[in-house]
Structure 1
Amino acid sequence: MFFIPNKFLFLCLLMGSTIFSISANSWLGAWMGLEINLLSFIPLMSSTKNIFSTEASLKYFLTQAFASSTLIFFIILSFLIFMNYLNLNLNYLMKMLMLSSLFMKVGAAPFHFWFPSVMENLSWNMNLILLTWQKIAPMILISYLILPFYFQLIAILSTMIGSIGGLNQTSLRKIMSFSSINHIGWMISSLLMNNNLWKIYFLIYSFLTILMILIFMNFNIYFINQIYLTMNFNLMNKFLLYMNFLSLGGLPPFLGFFPKWMIINNLIYNEYFFLLILMSVFTLINLYYYIRLALNSLLMMNMEQKWSIKINFKMNLILMWLMTSSLLSLPLFTLFYITF
C-alpha cells in the first residue's frame, strides 16, 4: 500500500477534529469540530477505484450538513433564550431538537435512513472509520443532553430497526450497518445511567467491529455467498468468524455479552424494566439471523471455485489469534466486574 500524503493529512484532520469537538468548552466549539470532521471525511470517502463512492459521499454530506445546520440553529436560539433576548420557555424542546440532529449524525433510528445506503457504497476501510471513530464525537455530545423519555424512545426504535432491518440481507455491509444501529440503541440506554458504561460498551464494540472488518478486508468478501464459496475459508476459519458474529450480537458466554450484561444489571437497578424487555427481545431477533447465517454456512459443503483469491496467510494467522483471544477473554472481564 502506497503512502498518499493528502489522505494522511485528511486522516490527521479527522482525528484532530474529533478531539477538538469533545474537548470544546462551548457548543459553538463542538459544532466547529463536527464541521471539520465532516469536511475531512468527505475526501477520504472519495475513491477512483470505487464508482459508488461519489454517491455515498454526496448522501453523507447532505445528511450531515442538514444535521449540522439544524444543530447550529438551535444552539444560537438557545443562547438567545438564555440571554433573555427572547422571552420563551422552550428548554425541553431545544434539547430535544439538538439531540435529534446529533442522533442523525450518529445514525440512530428513526434518523438512520442514510446509514445503510452510505455503508453499502463504501469500501471496508472507510466503513471501519464510519462504524467506530465517527461515532465518538456525536455520542459524547449526546451525553451532555440527558432527556430520559426521549432517550428511551430512541433506544427502543434503534434496537427494533437494527434487528428487523438485518433480516433477509445478503450484503455484509448492510448487515454490519443494521447491527451498528442496534448497538447504538444499547449505547444510548447506557448514557441514561453512567458514562463509564458507554465507554466500556463502545471499546468492546469497536474491538469486535474492527476484527470483523479486518477479516472481510483480508478475504475480500462483501456478500454472504462469498463466505460459502471461498475455498480458503475452511471449517475452523468459518467457526471462528461466526463465533465473533455471535459475540458481536451479544450471545453469552462470548465477549460481546459482557457490556450488555452490565447494562442489563444497571437497567434493572434503575427500574427501566419496559426498556430492558423490549431491547432484549429485539436483540434476540438480531441473534436469530446471526445463528441462521452461521448454521447455513457451517453445514454447507465448500464448493470448488474457478478463480483464485490472493490471501495474506500471515495476516490470516494474526486474525485467527485475535478472534480466539476475543472469544476467551470474557471470564477475565467477568472476574474484574464481580471483584470491583
Structure 2
Amino acid sequence: MVSFVMSPMKVMSMLMVIFGTGLSLSSEELIGVWLGMELNLYGFLILMNPDGYYTPEPCVKYFVVQSSASILMLGGFMLLMQHFVVGGLVMSVVGVLLKSGVFPLHSWVPSTIKNSSWLASGLMLTWQKIAPLIFLSVIAPLGSLWVVIGLMAGIGGVGGLNQNSVRVMSAYSSFVHTSWMLLGLSWSSVVFASYFVVYSMSVGMFFYGCSLMNKSKVMSQLSGAASGMGLLMLMGMPPFLGFVAKVLVFLMTSSGVIVVCVMGSVVSLKYYIDFFYSMVMKSLADKHKSSVKMMWGLMVIANLMGGALIVMSFI
C-alpha cells in the first residue's frame, strides 16, 4: 500500500480511472460518455501491471476487447447523431455489451481475470462495470434486457461449477451478481447503488484475504477470516449484507426474471461452499487466535449494522 501511495504514476492512473467514470456518468452528450470510458481505459491499463510483475497477456487482451468496444460505440454514436437510429442503437448496444462483459459478449472476462493481479481483478469486477452497466440500462430495450439478465444468471451459476481457479470462480460469480444489479438498475438507481456497494465490499474483502493467504501463519488466519466473511456476503446468506441487498432487489421488481436470478444464486452456492470449506476453513483451523475471533465478531456486527441502515433508508 505504501508503494502505491508513493508512486505518482499509480496515483495518477487511479485518479484517471475515477475521473473517467465520473465524466461518463455526468455527461449529457454521447461523445462525453465515450470520452470518459476512454480515459478510464487508459488509466486502468497502467493499474493492471504497473510494476511489470505480471504477464502482459491480460493487459493486451483487455486492451483489444475494450478498444473494439470503443470503436463500436463511437460508430454507433455517430450514426445516432446522423439520425440513423436503428443502426446506431444496435452498434452502441453491442459495444456496451462487449465493454461490460455481458452476455453474449462475456467470454473474455474469465480468461482475463484469471491471469490478472488481485487489484486489477477486483476493479474489473466492480468499478469498471459502473459506467457500462448504467449506460446499457439506458439504451437497451427493456425486453432484450430481461433476456440478458436471465442468461447472465444462468451462465454465472452453471459456469462456476468445478472451477479450480479462485479468480475464474469470481468471474462467473460476477455474472450472477451482474444480473441482480441490472435488474435492480432497471427499477431503481438507489437499489442498484446499494447492491453495488455491498458487492464491491464483498469482492474487496474476499480478494484482499486471498492476496495475503499463506504469507505468514497469523496473517493467513486473518486473511482467511476476511475471505470467509467476503464469501458469506457474496453468497447472500442471512444476516449478512449480501442477503439484504438481494431482498431489496426482490421487493422492488415485479418481473418474472427474478426467478432465474434466484435460481442462478442457488446454483452458485455450490462453488461458494466448496471454496469456503476447502480453503478458508483450513486457514482458520487454529481456533485459539483471539485476533481472528475478534475480526469475525467485528465483521458480523458491521454486517448487521449495515443491513439495518440500508433497510432504514428505504422506510
TM beyond 0.5: yes
2:228 to 239, 242, 247: 242
Q: Which amino acid aligns with 1:198?
A: F
Partners of 1:301 and 1:332 lie apart in 2 by: 30
State the distance in 1 between where 2:225 and 2:263 align: 26
Matched AA of 1:244: G
Aligned AA (2:13): F
Where does structure 1 differ by over 4 angstroms across 4 or more consecutive aligned residues?
229-234, 236-240, 296-304, 316-322
Question: What is the Cα deviation at residue 110 of structure 1?
Answer: 2.0
One-letter amino acid of the counterpart of residue 55, structure 1: E
Give the structure 2 partner of residue 175 of structure 1: 169
Residue 79 of structure 1 aligns with an amino acid whose one-letter code is: M
Identity value in percent: 26
Residue 68 of structure 1, CA deviation: 0.6
What is the aligned length?
309
* Range with bigger deviation, 288-297 or 54-63: 288-297
Amino acid at match of 1:278: V
Give the letter for the 2:164 counterpart.
Answer: T
> Structure 1 unaligned runs (5+)?
82-87, 222-228, 305-312
Bigger radius of gyration among the two: 1
Quote the Cα distance in structure 2 between the aligned partners of 1:42 and 1:245: 28
**Which residue pairs with 1:61 in the alignment?**
63
**Aligned counterpart, 2:74:** 72
- For the 8 Å contact 1:251–1:287, the answer to whether it is kept is no
For 1:178-257, list aligned pairs within 5 A: 178-219=172-213, 233=220, 238=224, 241-257=227-243
2:33 to 30, 49, 65: 30
Partner SS, residue 193 of structure 1 = coil
Aligned amino acid, residue 280 of structure 1: V
Given the superposition, is the C-alpha separation of residues 327 and 45 from structure 1 closer, same or farther in structure 2, using an over 3 Å criterion? Answer: same
Q: Is the 8 A contact 1:96 1:147 kept in 2?
A: no
Question: Quick one: distance in 2 between partners of 1:299 and 1:210?
Answer: 19
Given that 2:173 and 2:268 are in contact with CA atoms closer than 8 Å, whether structure 1 keeps it comes out as: yes
State the AA in 2 paired with 1:34: M
Cα deviation, residue 334, structure 1: 6.5
CA RMSD after TM alignment: 3.0
The TM-score normalised by the length of structure 2 is: 0.86
Amino acid in structure 1 at the alignment position of 2:61: K
Are positions 1:41 and 2:54 aligned together? no
Distance (whole Å) between structure 2 residues aligned to residue 253 and residue 176 of structure 1: 22
Cα deviation, 1:170-214, whole Å, max 9, x if unaligned, reads 211111111111111111111221121111111111111111122
Contact 2:225–2:295, Cα closer than 8 Å, also in 1? no
Aligned 8 A contact 1:254 1:327 in 2? yes
In structure 2, C-alpha distance between the alignment counterparts of 1:141 and 1:301, rounded to whole Å: 41
Q: Which moved more, 1:27-36 or 1:285-294?
A: 285-294
- The aligned residue for residue 294 of structure 1 is 276
> Deviation digits for residues 57-99 of structure 1, max 9, x if unmatched?
1000010011110011111111111xxxxxx6x44x6434422
2:10 maps to 1:10: no
Decide whether aligned partners of structure 1 residues 238 and 13 sit closer, same or farther in structure 2, where only a CA change above 3 A counts. Answer: closer
1:255-274 matched pairs, under 5 angstroms = 255-267=241-253, 270=254, 272-273=255-256
Cα shift at 1:28: 0.6
Instruction: Tell me which of 324, 336, 340 is aligned to 2:300.
Output: 324
Alpha-carbon distance in structure 2 between the residues aligned to 1:298 and 1:121: 21
Q: State the shift of 1:246 in Å.
A: 2.8
Structure showing greater relative contact order (alpha-carbon pairs closer than 8 Å, 6 or more residues apart): 1
Unaligned runs of 5+ in 2: none
Per mean C-alpha deviation after superposition, the further-off stretch among 319-328 and 288-297 is 319-328
Aligned counterpart in structure 2 of residue 149 of structure 1, from 143, 150, 166: 143
Structure (1 or 2) with the greater helix fraction: 2
| 1:302–1:256 Cα change, 3 Å | closer
Calculate the TM-score normalised by the size of structure 1.
0.80
